[in-house]
Structure 1
Amino acid sequence: MKQKRTLFLVEVAVFSALAYLLDLFSGFLFSRIWPQGGSVSIAMVPVFLMAFRWGVKGGMLTGFLFGLLQFILGMSQIYHPIQGILDYLVAFALLGTAGLFAVQIKENMKKDSRKTWIAYVIAGTFIGSVLRFIAHFISGWVFFGSYAPPGQPVALYSFLYNGTYMLPSMILSAIIVILVISYAPSRMVQSTNVSKKTV
């Protein structure tokens, strides 16, 4: 049990740092396209992998630490404390809700039911991404209205701004997560055995 907890904490730390590095790289590439923050990125992949491996707890903790790293290491776009909390701590923690399907993914992998576990991966990725999008949308609506083009409703501006990077990021992340799990399926089911208590 102690060994399992240590493995969990180590993986949370490693995957949080990996997510941060991936986001840092994409931020440099796309900062001019989304100047108020956001980018097409595969930084969600490590968070989703932790969610599917360890359940909601592992996913949300990894996402929270990923957001915290952005929050404290100076790469975030923070204009108001509540906006910063919404856009980084809340938004990325919500990605971990993908772990709601961790048990189903593992069970279907053991049954060698590829289509079913892929469907659950897509569903989890979708739910986590949508919840993250909602956090960014609310933040954009409340705190970034001044950036909306003249005559454009602020809600529409926030929807379009955040949707243009969230949709491709979600699709890319789902594809990469499926490829990673397919390449090393034993790593998803080995030694973790996520129970319904975990999620």
Structure 2
Amino acid sequence: MPDKKYYGADAIVDSLVNHDVKYVFGIPGAKIDRVFERLEHPVNPKSPRLIVTRHEQNAAFIAAGIGRITGKPGVVMTTSGPGASNLATGLVTATAEGDPVLAISGQVQRADLLRLTHQSMNNAALFKPITKYSAEVQEPENISEVLANAYQEATAAKQGASFVSVPQDVTDSIVRTPVITPIQAPKLGPASPVEATLLAQKSKQLSCRSC
């Protein structure tokens, strides 16, 4: 019988769908396997295509290339420990060169975060200095909000990398909150001709009212 429960992993995939993500590059691992299973055997027909790479650093650079070509964040996904830390070179380069990237890594269960357990490390702190946004999801119901914030930050102002760490028990938890719609990122630079014309018209209208 198919599993009809809606898990954190489903919320991750549906959040990517909501942001029109077409590809996910990366390497699976125990702490994020449920998400990879959802990508490999999608329930949503609009799910991104999963492309498994030979190394996490390669996946990060490919995602950055997608970001540079399309102007939309390329997505890379890895497991915990070295799976996450191997992203560092690709993400720091993406941030320095203005390539939008969304990186998602697995993490040990929340109960093990402060213990010296296998692959337990502070992912969010590791990536904070080299990304525009770095956060760890602590509640399953907040998955889509954190991912939307990360995606928005990767595309806002000078583009760059965002990083989200997701503990294994968060991806494996039941989620009841619907995924949220994308957040529109503000853009720097001159207004388009259409926007400039509309602004001039509004300014003229306001000036006439004050006469």
TM-score tier, shorter chain, comes to under 0.3
Structure with higher Rg: it is 2
More strand by share: 2
Provide the TM-score with structure 2 as the length reference.
Answer: 0.26
